[in-house]
Amino acid sequence: MIQAVRGVHDILPSAAQKWARVEATARRVFEAYGYEEIRLPVFERTELFARGIGEATDIVQKEMYTFQDRAGESLTLRPEATASLLRAYIEHGLHVHPKPVRLYTMGPMFRYERPQAGRYRQFHQLNVEALGDDHPALDAEVIALLVDFFRGLDLATPLDVQINSLGDAKCRPAYRERLIEYLRRNSARLCAECRDRTERNPLRVLDCKNPECRPVLDAAPALELCPECATHFASVREYLKQMGVEATPTHRLVRGLDYYVRTTFELTATELGAQNAVAGGGRYDGLIELLGGPPDPGIGFAIGIERVVQLLPERGDDAREDRRPLAFLIPLGDEALRHLLPVARAVRSKAVRVELGYGERKLRSELERANKLGVAWAVIVGETELSRGEAVLRDMKSGTQQTVSLGALTDKLIALGAAR
């Protein structure tokens, strides 16, 4: 038997309803805020991610699925959506639209990393990006949008909103050097991964979850914001307060990608253990220009769908019994099948789910199948019923039966479906 590749997973029908609920909630909430959907290819030229994410990041160096096509061009399965979305923003001239341009996308991403609970090598994200405006109120609005999405899912699990400012090109370079110097002095007390990141991506070291590293990282120097960044961050916090969004400032909060500046934020859930982030994002004001576009600022976030599904409470419409067919149509012979085929199609056109036999089994076998399907009704049409122009409607729970004319059968089933 050929099994799925390690680190990928099938979304079975028993879970698909939860996925559909997450996606439907995203569309409803995002579009209420004025965001429009954009659909992107799952692979791009490798240089897009090397330039956009940063060649020194773990993603580019260790985690990307990269291959050469038959023309010898290096292509990569997308490890995240922001670079792809900004490529489309530039390529199709979306930057000439009124600002901010609000876009969202959803779909699979690919990273070669160690599979664990809620984390896969093919995983799925919801992404939101607001482009072309750097006002702190937009930052606050994007964070509020993220909170409203989770509220729309009616999660029982409490979520914590954390925010930070990573500074910008004025104040971060000096901090980066201070941080590198501190980490080098304490390298003997850090794990091998932190020592490696010290030279390549020192801010990422602050996000290490290894408990042996935490004493060193908790004592690391904090970023001192320049006046402009401090004012921006204070405004974001004030706007969040005005909207009733509680957010905890956390100066250790960083992002794993080089392009983030100023506002960064994350939502965490204690139910998920150490890897407890369900969504995160921030501002990336220089990335569009870095990718060859205009100097437009941007802010956005990504939501891990697998992790959200883990947190979703069971709901009545997720239960399999509530998604069972209303009826099983049982033709006894080909002539009866010819009469029931259009009935089944007409009923299904009204979004009433029914199953249809094909006239090749005996009644007893078909009734056993109806029981296994868990239908409420069985519709039986044989030679006798055809001669009378009627069908037998059997209540599968009580066993009682009634006759319905073939001409009225469609309307009867639609009415039963509406009353369900």
CATH number of the domain enclosing 281:
3.30.930.10
Give the largest Cα separation in the chain, rounded: 94
Residue 182 counted as domain residue:
no
What is the C-alpha to C-alpha distance for residues 8 and 276, in angstroms, rounded to an integer? 20
State the pLDDT confidence band at 119, using cuts at 50, 70 and 90. Answer: confident
Average pLDDT over residues 15-26: 94
Is residue 38 domain-shared with residue 113, that is, in the same domain?
Answer: yes
Is residue 94 domain-shared with residue 161, that is, in the same domain?
Answer: yes
- The lowest-confidence range among 64-78, 182-196, 280-294, 366-380 is 182-196
Is residue 352 domain-shared with residue 288, that is, in the same domain?
Answer: no
Supply 196's token pair: 């490696």
Pair 124, 79: CB distance under 8 Å: no
Give the containing element (helix H, strand E) for 264: strand 261-269
CATH number of the domain enclosing 347:
3.40.50.800
Is 60 exceeded by the pLDDT of residue 317?
no
Q: Is 402 helix (H, G, I), strand (E, B) or coil?
A: strand
Q: List the domain range (segments joined by +) for residue 408.
A: 324-418
pLDDT in tens, 325-344: 999 999 999 999 999 999 99
Average pLDDT over residues 280-294: 93
Average pLDDT over residues 393-398: 94
Q: Please classify residue 158 by burial: count the beta carbons closer than 10 Å to its beta carbon, then call 0-12 exposed, 13-18 middle and 19+ buried.
A: exposed
pLDDT of amino acid 229: 94
Is residue 164 domain-shared with residue 56, that is, in the same domain?
Answer: yes
**In this structure, are strands 248-249 and 159-165 parallel, antiparallel, or unpaired?**
parallel
Residue 207 counted as domain residue:
no
What angle is formed at CA 305 by the lines to CA 145 and CA 29, rounded to 5 degrees? 25
Is residue 130 domain-shared with residue 247, that is, in the same domain?
Answer: yes
| Residue 181 backbone phi and psi in degrees, to 5 | -60, -40
Cβ neighbour number for residue 295 with a 10 Å cutoff: 9
pLDDT of amino acid 219: 86
State the pLDDT confidence band at 274, using cuts at 50, 70 and 90. Answer: low
pLDDT in tens, 23-73: 999 999 999 999 999 999 999 999 998 887 665 555 666 788 999 999 999
Identify the domain boundary among 316, 343, 363. Answer: 316
pTM: 0.85
Is residue 302 domain-shared with residue 374, that is, in the same domain?
Answer: no
Residue 401 counted as domain residue:
yes
The DSSP secondary-structure symbol of 376 reads S
Is residue 18 domain-shared with residue 105, that is, in the same domain?
Answer: yes
Higher confidence at residue 316 or residue 122? 122
Cβ neighbour number for residue 218 with a 10 Å cutoff: 9
Average pLDDT over residues 115-130: 86
Is 70 exceeded by the pLDDT of residue 88?
yes
Burial 51-88 (b: 16+ CB within 10 A, else e): bbbbeebbbbeeebeeeeeeeeeebbbbbbbbbbbbbb
The most confident of 26-30, 112-116, 153-157, by mean pLDDT: 26-30
Is residue 22 domain-shared with residue 80, that is, in the same domain?
Answer: yes
Strands of 62-172, DSSP E? 66-68, 74-77, 101-110, 122-131, 159-165
Residue 268 vs residues 92, 161, 163, 247, 276: alpha-carbon distances, Å: 35, 7, 11, 12, 5
| Residue 368 backbone phi and psi in degrees, to 5 | -65, -40
What angle is formed at CA 150 by the lines to CA 82 and CA 132, rounded to 5 degrees? 35
Amino acid (1-letter code) at residue 416? L
Is residue 240 domain-shared with residue 112, that is, in the same domain?
Answer: yes
pLDDT of amino acid 86: 97
Polymer length of the chain: 420
Residue 239 counted as domain residue:
yes
Find all residues with CB under 8 Å of 24, minimum gap 6, and list them.
none
Residue 111 counted as domain residue:
yes
Give the containing element (helix H, strand E) for 343: helix 334-348
Residue 38 counted as domain residue:
yes
Is residue 414 domain-shared with residue 364, that is, in the same domain?
Answer: yes
What is the C-alpha to C-alpha distance for residues 127 and 155, in angstroms, rounded to an integer? 20
What is the C-alpha to C-alpha distance for residues 361 and 246, in angstroms, rounded to an integer? 62
| Residue 221 backbone phi and psi in degrees, to 5 | -65, 145
Q: Is 67 helix (H, G, I), strand (E, B) or coil?
A: strand
Residue 8 counted as domain residue:
no
Beta bridge partners of 380: 330, 392
Residue 121 counted as domain residue:
yes
Identify the domain boundary among 316, 334, 352. Answer: 316
Is residue 333 domain-shared with residue 400, that is, in the same domain?
Answer: yes
Q: What percent of the chain has pLDDT over 70?
A: 93
State the pLDDT confidence band at 235, using cuts at 50, 70 and 90. Answer: very high
Q: Please classify residue 346 by burial: count the beta carbons closer than 10 Å to its beta carbon, then call 0-12 exposed, 13-18 middle and 19+ buried.
A: middle
Pair 193, 174: CB distance under 8 Å: no
Cβ neighbour number for residue 285 with a 10 Å cutoff: 18
Cβ neighbour number for residue 195 with a 10 Å cutoff: 17
Is residue 295 domain-shared with residue 263, that is, in the same domain?
Answer: yes
Structural domain count of the chain: 2
Identify the domain boundary among 268, 292, 316. Answer: 316
